[in-house]
Amino acid sequence: MREPSRVMLALPRAVDTDIGREARLPLSEYTPLMHLSEAPGKAMRMSELAAACSISLSGMTRVATRLERQGWVERTKSAQDGRGWNTALTDTGLARCEQAWPAFLVSVRRHLVEHVSGRDLTHGASSADRPGVHLFSARGRRRPLAVFS
């Protein structure tokens, strides 16, 4: 159980270092841009974006504030209920995400993909889906771990 834990901690750090150096964008800012770029209408509710990025809502608010200052996202009150906030990717934000994507891809390849054979990678990707289903509900919210239950 130690090796997966080491990888879960070390991989994001390595990718953050690489993408920060190569694209001048921290992983904490690239990740929400990536999720927004893949979302329908390039927009998500803040709580869903926070869950997708595996950070707290208050943490996501701080990141979104930085992204908004750069002109990469816009936040608006939810038209559905008036309580929540939506975050939408701007054209400038999409361009920034696309500019940083090659550095992200090279880093993930260098630190993960190149160290796993094709068969292991396919098996590992499908195996990773099972804990993902357990850890995240259909709405993308975090659920408590039930490792020892």
What is the full per-residue pLDDT of the chain (149 aa) written as tens digits? 677 788 788 889 999 999 999 999 999 999 999 999 999 999 999 999 999 999 999 999 999 999 999 999 999 998 888 788 999 999 999 999 999 999 999 999 898 877 776 666 566 555 555 454 445 544 444 443 333 32
Strand partners, 75: 87
- Could you give the CA distance from residue 142 to residue 24 in angstroms, rounded to a whole number? 29
Full-model pTM: 0.79
